Structure 1
Amino acid sequence: MRTAGRTPAERTPRFALLGPLEVRDDLGRSVPVSAPKQRGVLAALLVDAGTVVSADRLADLLWDGSPPPSARKTLENYVSRLRRLLGPVSGGRIITRSPGYAVEPRDPSEVDLLVQSDLAGRAQQAAAGADWERTARHARDALALWRGDPFCDVPVERLRREQAPHLSEARLRLRELALTAQVMMGDHHGALPDLRRLVEETLIREQPWEMLILALFRCGRKAEALEEYHRVGRVLRDELGVSPGRGLQQLHRLMLADDRPASAGPEGGGRRSVTVTGAARQLVAFTDGGPPTFHSPHSPPAGPPPPARSDAGRPTEARFGPPAVIHETLALRYQGLPAPRTAADPDPARALRLLSEWNGADLPLPAISALLHRPAELVRRDLDTLAARKLAEEAGPERYRLPATVRLFGRTLSRSGPDDDPPGAALRRLVGWYLRTAAEAGNLIHPYGRRPALHTVSDENPPEAFNNYREASVWFANEHANLISAVRAAASAGEHALAWRLAATLTGYFHMSKRWTDWIMVAQIGLASARHLHDGFGESALLLSAGRAYDDLRMYSRSLESLDQAVAVAVGKAAADQWGEAVGLLCLAHVHGPHQTMVHHRRAQKIFRSVGNSWGFALAQIELGRAHRWSGDLEQAIACHRSGAAILADLGDNWALSLAHLGLAEDLLAGGDHALAAAACRQTLALSHEVHDRHTTARALTFLGQSYLRVPDLSAARGAWTEALKIFEELADPRATSLRVQIATLDATAAISS
């Protein structure tokens, strides 16, 4: 699909900031920029691409307001090295121009920030004209540029503070536009999961609530829609002291009147206003009649289309097909697709039918190959053919999706042809591929964590291969939404063995990323699937996973309930799971009193020693050290933490090693050795940065601030705490509240002293 005349959104940007900083050469190969200060310089220039950034501004950013006397000369060296590293083409984009430097792209498509800005403007313009297909396409193209948190690997805190808020707001607006367009084009069921997530993330924004309520109403779930209206009313009153806005009120009145025509005809799916206000009757109206009868070009003429299957965990929604005019257009394009003559020929019609069952985000090519059970080269040709007829879109390099209207159309097609799979086969292959690839990635980011045995269907297609921790981490971040959708889809389709295994396999990733809401939701779905199969191993693993998430959130009663059940199931005959029992005991120690904590840790150590698991034994040493500190025996606490750290250093597990050094820092702080405590915190920070564990980074910064406070160095303490607070707030960690109080107290003390 690399053709001339492609839009900027379809090219890979040379410079990318919407996630980890990334630079690519002319062949699309990544050019690593490993030096932190050079990354900082490049990021600062890219934020204002095309504009000169003064040397004073760059120095101020790089040294956080306190540049050294040699800053200008040092900055010249950074820029010079950066140009050499990037080569004559990419490096040539960095120019020197008084009073500083600039990145001058040859084309706006070279910088992802510029591409996003352009696409966002186009999406907004299309929405203003009620052109929902264009709105959806531009908004999704812009969202596809996001690969993670901007500036996450750029050590320029000031730049992150300045830029991250408005970038987050831009991303949020794009999500709103994409989901609004999805609802307006009739994909109500498909939009619901993402709308619910958006509503929970942005409780006081009314637009997501309007779309959620509208989608529920159009799905025939009027009672739920009314309940959501009452809920948003309570939220707005409690948080802002206001009533729902005019749009929500108008939608509420229409629902109470049930003013919904039996069929809106072609106009019901055409151009509509973006808001409920002034056009609510048009918004609520939608095609309730079934789509026209359609015959597949590769199978005998069928009668009226059967109800759409729920192979991908999707409720039946045949009556919510695309509007009639759009349906007829898509039918003509579909009828023109070439039929395969042999099994080795492309079959784009089959690809469309099977892909239409997927409700998640855009898929990478290897995942689609697994879903279709065909070689990647054939699948690429299928997708090229579909894209040429505007029946598929390339969302990014080697990533594809069906537009919402095409997906709805695909679900109305007959599945009775000899070339189609048995019901559920495509979903099993897709989820199996995600399970196997998640296991491969998990082996790198959490190498000594345990994963369940793979399901047989995961052997059908080879997983992605990863060379290092970073590649695995980026894959998890990119596929986060699809992994959650895969768990949901498998559970909804009755593929419970796949559902609980994938949910359990994701525990290590969630433990590292701290995305607690999704973690708990996935664990609960997996737990229900394991219980459905009476699988004690799966039940214990998912109870343990949920318990760890609740413990992180300091929801100790719920954590205790889950962990007690996990240990009980692990020691039962149904599971006989020594590993699960030992890890459950370690986790229980977090929520029990000091005496019971010691008992749990020693039992866990005994189990790990008996099965020869040195990694588990080292973790038990770390937790035992914490118990000794609680009981006041600092000498034993330090010995346990150093012993655990030595084992983990030999194993090469930097994630667990960072926890050992963090425990040691707490011991030294408690003993009043602030200099050694600060050194242990810095060791922790180096390790946690290496494995991208932001939660441990924030905890280490908190303790580092405490060590500075004892020196005392109030300015350094505040700096460390402020950085930690930012991470805790981004992770929605409850520790943010107490840290905010500590900073306020510190400021008050400083004010009184001055």
Structure 2
Amino acid sequence: MRFRILGPLQVYTGERWSAIRAAQPRAVLAVLLARAGQTVSADRLVDEIWGERPPRTAHNTVQGYVMRLRRLLGADANDLLLTKNRGYQVAVAAEELDAVAFKRLLESGQRDLAEGRLHAAAGELAAALALWHGPAFADVPATSIVAAETARLEQYRLTALETRLDTDLALGRHVETVDELHRLTIEYPLRERLRGLLMLALYRCGRRAEALETYSHGRAMLVKELGLEPGPELRRLEQDILSDEPGLMSGTVTGTVTTTTSLGTPPAQLPADIAGFAGRQTQLRRLDELLTGRDNATTVVISAIAGTAGVGKTALAVHWAHRVRHRFPDGQLHVDLRGYSTGTPMRPIEVLARFLRALGVAADQVPVEVDEAAALYRSLLADRRMIVLLDNAFEPDQVRPLLPGAPGCLVLVTSRCVLAGLVARDGAHELTLDVLTAEESGALLRELLGTERTEAQPRATAELAELCAHLPLALRIAAAQLLAQPKLTVAGYVAELRSGDRLDSLRVAGDDKTAVLPAFSQSYSALPGDTRRLFRLLGSAPGPEITAEIAAALADISRHDAAGHLATLAAGHLLEERAPGRYGCHDLLRHYAKERGRHEDTASERDSALRRLYDWYLRTVDDAAAMLYPHMRRMSSPPAHEQPTKVSSFDNHTDALAWLDAERANLVAAVTHAAEHRPWPVAGLITESLRGYFWLRMYTVDWLAVASAGQSIAESTGDPNAATAALLSLADINFRQGNHRQATEYSARALAIARRAGWSTGVATALSYLGNLHLQSGRLAEACEHHERALTLRRRAGWRSKQAGNLTGLGIIHRHLGSLKEALRYFNQALAINREVDSASGEAGALYQLGATWHDAGDLGQAADLLRHALRMAQEVGHRGLEAETRVELAAVHRDADRYTAAFEAATAALELARDANDRPCESDALRVLGTIHQRHGNHPEAAGYYRSALDLARDTGSRFTEAGALLGLAAVCHEPDYARQAVAIADEAGYRTLAAEARRAIDNFVHNG
């Protein structure tokens, strides 16, 4: 089933494209397609269709529309149009929705343009724009969801159009594009990129005066309509034209080539504006002056005098950033650098990884070295107007890698100390923040408590501000206490403060311990005893967030009780609910909680709490592993654990994957904290259980941190089994990144350690790794030997789930040897085992291999069915690498069935996924298949380009089969028999019999044709 939304809404049911004739069912389907893959509640559908005055039978009517749609969609309707959670969802695959195909072609074209592959870029961008048949949802009423999606898609279309024109100019087609650019600038007069392209095209056509007139007209429009001057790129282009800059006659407009990031809405990471913000008018005016006086200011530093935690640095930065955010349309980035946290401050590479992902870089494409990551970050921010808020910095070196390299962005840095180094070396502006004035304190209390309560006792209110030392955090905590006791007067509360221990401390302003801790103590002492105990334990928990489950593990209480305590802490402003069910706190509060624990709990009690937390993490990660990747569960689990006796923590794959994604930061913090402070074996087991998760999701920076922590823990404990597991995890990440030599070295070291320890499970796993590495490098005999030895060991141990991997490896070997019946036998055995142990990801992998083998056998229908099944399962469990591999094979099946459009879309999507997952061997396969598609279509220059890219990548990663295939393709499109001879040599050496025979036939054709 396929759908079109880029134009009138249409459905392809296998025979022809059809419209939805009835308007309201069409609107229902449009809303669901606009939210494809998400559940839309029945209530929301009613609102979308009828607005504020729905008929009484609206819900029944919606059910009727859904039934009509299911009848129209035919036999597959129940799998496509799902009823979920009192709503409906269209479970459409990516390749079945034209908007997804368009987006992928656009991003691929942008990458090709950025990397200089101009002809490929032009083809992909033209293919992307050809998918449009009119305005998006052209025949659908503009409901709120549809209207929002229509506007988003229109922006994508304009981006594609601009990028295609950019490519045309880079190819020297300026004469052909001038008329189109004239029309577009009239239609979209405020789009500066289009105007810049028109200026460049006119200049290259020898129409310099018209190019400058185009700039003047555009500037006048911007000033009149928006009150803004043109951006720096357009101004620079005007100056280059005035000075006849030589570089204008070649290349593209400065700043118009997009980066290889995913499309999406700009990041909007600013925390919510501060409720009840009051005062700070002098500082706000100073910040306004900095921005007005220096429109492209790069950095503004807000620093406080030493020791004044809680003085309102973050509140001021966030409030002012919200005031000026309209001047920075490309979004906002925000991070708490945890400079004064009880844990380790955030490293620049951690922040860069987070920011790069927010800017659209796939997690597995984030560089792991700080210099490379910083360079990519600066490139992405060049010529953008963004706000970057770096909260709670420790020292200048923590901040410098996070500063943009070009003007246009505003960087706000808060810190407890004056960052003089940034002022001296980086041109930052110092703004020291003191406590509030008496007037500002009164205004803040009026805002928080209400004028009726404060004006009834103005002298008591003023005294309360004095007792709080005019410190914003202390004032807010005091107000929270009063709001929680509505019958308590301000004077009565002041009397309580006067008679307590807080008084002496609050008199000393500017000192963390005497200005803030008494306020914490007052809130803390008002808590029930069990809540206080939990608060103390939270101070020792690694990780940035707390959930009810984490709290329950720490305190050894029920989840229900833990949730109640967390709600109480949040109500008292000792915790903040940052997302539904996920809590965090200021680092001083965490420090206070930890200090209270040291005074009130024994070391044994604190140690037991942390052990319970780590044990809970291990159990839950193991449950997720059993659900998502049982064939990759930790080696140290005995075979008996393959049939768990307890109920799993998760109902399905989606829940398990969602939990791992949500807890990723906490899990990484837990294992790295253990490596640094408490090398408990249980932490090493957690790292081992996470290996399969990172294999699926490819968060490169986090995976490397966890694997390295696992190795450190193993070294500290001297456990050879843990050392084996840690080395194999490091081998995994290097294998996926194409670092063949390093992966082989880690695997060989793991094998040696496991053999010395007599650990047969570790020996079998290391042999399997080496078998896969030999398979990739074309050493089939060695690969077969390693897999057979591993299979024997695993059969002897009775470990069924692990046997599937060896059977799959043996099947691939026989497939390369041309023994397809043997290959099918092995793959079917692997499929049966994966189904037996309920491994969805393993089952998807076996189905993929079966589909590829039936493709080799020439049964395209059987191959396509198996591959589609594999693709659905890979998407369900979030296995991006396998999804990419399956799409590559599907593209080859479509190609051999002469479905070239479908083949090109599938191969392009596969290439994007492989790059996103940093699966370089799969990337080379996708490039090779794209080469074959262009070759059969007669586009030999494009085919040669793909083949050469595939060849370079295959050689870099040691993928011998793809190397030979790319050489064979080059032989055909370049008419060079030497390429075919090289392919024969590789195929003979590795034993690729079918490929060797094909290469020899190519050589015979060269000889026959002279």
Q: TM-score, normalised by structure 1?
A: 0.65
d(CA) in 2 for partners of 1:334 and 1:179?
24
Answer whether contact 2:888 2:925 (CA < 8 A) is retained: no
d(CA) in 1 for partners of 2:342 and 2:510?
11
d(CA) in 2 for partners of 1:187 and 1:90?
45
Mapped pair 1:736 → 2:923: yes
Query: For 1:31-42, what aligned pairs fall within 5 Å after superposition?
Result: none
Amino acid at match of 2:334: L
d(CA) in 2 for partners of 1:746 and 1:390?
61
CA change 1:353–1:743 in 2 (3 A) is: same
Mapped pair 1:94 → 2:56: no
d(CA) in 2 for partners of 1:63 and 1:134?
53
Deviations 1:433-455 (A, max 9, x none): 21111112222112344436699
**1:685 aligned residue:** 871
**1:579 aligned residue:** 761
Deviations 1:141-191 (A, max 9, x none): xxxxxxxxxxxxxxxxxxxxxxxxxxxx99x956x32337x66x8899433
Amino acid at match of 1:191: M
Mapped pair 1:395 → 2:578: yes
Answer whether contact 2:628 2:653 (CA < 8 A) is retained: yes
The equivalent position to 2:600 in structure 1, one of 402, 417, 420, is: 417
Mapped pair 1:197 → 2:353: yes
Mapped pair 1:59 → 2:13: no
d(CA) in 1 for partners of 2:939 and 2:30?
47
**1:610 aligned residue:** 796
CA change 1:323–1:484 in 2 (3 A) is: farther
**In the TM superposition, what is the alpha-carbon distance from 1:715 to its structure 2 partner?**
0.7
Answer whether contact 1:327 1:409 (CA < 8 A) is retained: no
Query: For 1:3-18, what aligned pairs fall within 5 Å after superposition?
Result: none
- The secondary structure found in structure 1 opposite 2:578 is strand
**1:442 aligned residue:** 625
**1:278 aligned residue:** none
**In the TM superposition, what is the alpha-carbon distance from 1:88 to its structure 2 partner?**
5.7
**2:771 aligned residue:** 589
Mapped pair 1:536 → 2:720: yes
Query: For 1:200-239, what aligned pairs fall within 5 Å after superposition?
Result: 201=366, 203=374, 204-206=376-378, 219=394
Deviations 1:698-751 (A, max 9, x none): 111101111222232221111111221232233233243663575477558758
Q: How many residues align?
A: 593
CA change 1:582–1:68 in 2 (3 A) is: same
Answer whether contact 1:491 1:529 (CA < 8 A) is retained: yes
- The secondary structure found in structure 2 opposite 1:94 is helix
**In the TM superposition, what is the alpha-carbon distance from 1:349 to its structure 2 partner?**
4.0
**2:615 aligned residue:** 432
Deviating more after overlay: 700-709 vs 398-407 = 398-407
Answer whether contact 1:622 1:660 (CA < 8 A) is retained: yes
**1:724 aligned residue:** 910
The equivalent position to 1:351 in structure 2, one of 504, 527, 534, is: 534
**In the TM superposition, what is the alpha-carbon distance from 1:507 to its structure 2 partner?**
1.8
d(CA) in 2 for partners of 1:400 and 1:364?
6
CA change 1:403–1:423 in 2 (3 A) is: same
d(CA) in 1 for partners of 2:746 and 2:269?
45
Query: For 1:19-418, what aligned pairs fall within 5 Å after superposition?
Result: 57=7, 59=9, 68-72=17-21, 76=25, 79=28, 89-95=43-49, 100-101=140-141, 120=270, 122=272, 133-134=314-315, 176-179=333-336, 189-192=344-347, 194-198=350-354, 201=366, 203=374, 204-206=376-378, 219=394, 254=422, 266=434, 324=511, 328-329=515-516, 331-338=518-525, 345-410=528-593, 415-418=598-601
Amino acid at match of 1:429: R
- The secondary structure found in structure 1 opposite 2:525 is coil
Mapped pair 1:707 → 2:893: yes
Deviations 1:202-231 (A, max 9, x none): 643349999999999x64686x878x59xx
Answer whether contact 2:501 2:518 (CA < 8 A) is retained: no
**2:114 aligned residue:** none
Answer whether contact 2:630 2:837 (CA < 8 A) is retained: no
Answer whether contact 1:392 1:402 (CA < 8 A) is retained: yes
Amino acid at match of 1:76: P
d(CA) in 2 for partners of 1:696 and 1:531?
33
Deviating more after overlay: 483-492 vs 443-452 = 443-452
d(CA) in 1 for partners of 2:319 and 2:538?
21
Mapped pair 1:523 → 2:707: yes
Amino acid at match of 1:59: L
CA change 1:612–1:138 in 2 (3 A) is: farther
d(CA) in 2 for partners of 1:78 and 1:468?
31
Answer whether contact 2:731 2:747 (CA < 8 A) is retained: yes
Deviations 1:412-448 (A, max 9, x none): 6572225786554433332222111111222211234
**In the TM superposition, what is the alpha-carbon distance from 1:478 to its structure 2 partner?**
1.3
**2:190 aligned residue:** none
Deviations 1:479-518 (A, max 9, x none): 1111111111222222331221110111222223233432
- The secondary structure found in structure 1 opposite 2:583 is strand
The equivalent position to 2:670 in structure 1, one of 477, 481, 486, is: 486
Gapped regions of structure 2 (runs ≥ 5): 33-38, 52-137, 149-264, 278-283, 289-301, 303-311, 321-327, 357-365, 367-372, 413-417, 441-472, 475-496, 639-645, 943-1010
- The secondary structure found in structure 2 opposite 1:724 is helix
d(CA) in 2 for partners of 1:330 and 1:463?
44
Q: TM-score, normalised by structure 2?
A: 0.50
Mapped pair 1:559 → 2:513: no
d(CA) in 1 for partners of 2:919 and 2:728?
20
Answer whether contact 2:698 2:918 (CA < 8 A) is retained: no
CA change 1:72–1:326 in 2 (3 A) is: farther
d(CA) in 2 for partners of 1:711 and 1:220?
62
Answer whether contact 1:546 1:559 (CA < 8 A) is retained: yes
Query: Considering only aligned residues, what root-mean-square deviation do their CA atoms show, in Å?
Result: 5.3
Identity level (%): 21
Amino acid at match of 1:661: L
Answer whether contact 2:630 2:839 (CA < 8 A) is retained: yes
Deviations 1:359-386 (A, max 9, x none): 5232210111222334445434433333
- The secondary structure found in structure 2 opposite 1:95 is helix
CA change 1:331–1:750 in 2 (3 A) is: farther
CA change 1:464–1:355 in 2 (3 A) is: farther
- The secondary structure found in structure 1 opposite 2:49 is strand
Gapped regions of structure 1 (runs ≥ 5): 1-35, 42-54, 109-114, 140-168, 237-241, 272-290, 306-321, 456-461
Deviating more after overlay: 538-547 vs 328-337 = 328-337
Answer whether contact 1:500 1:529 (CA < 8 A) is retained: yes
d(CA) in 2 for partners of 1:136 and 1:484?
29
d(CA) in 1 for partners of 2:408 and 2:266?
32
**1:666 aligned residue:** 852
**In the TM superposition, what is the alpha-carbon distance from 1:687 to its structure 2 partner?**
2.8
**In the TM superposition, what is the alpha-carbon distance from 1:198 to its structure 2 partner?**
3.1
- The secondary structure found in structure 1 opposite 2:345 is helix
d(CA) in 1 for partners of 2:647 and 2:319?
31
**In the TM superposition, what is the alpha-carbon distance from 1:639 to its structure 2 partner?**
2.8
Answer whether contact 1:350 1:419 (CA < 8 A) is retained: no
d(CA) in 2 for partners of 1:354 and 1:722?
51
Deviating more after overlay: 410-419 vs 715-724 = 410-419
CA change 1:246–1:467 in 2 (3 A) is: closer
Answer whether contact 2:820 2:857 (CA < 8 A) is retained: yes
CA change 1:579–1:704 in 2 (3 A) is: same
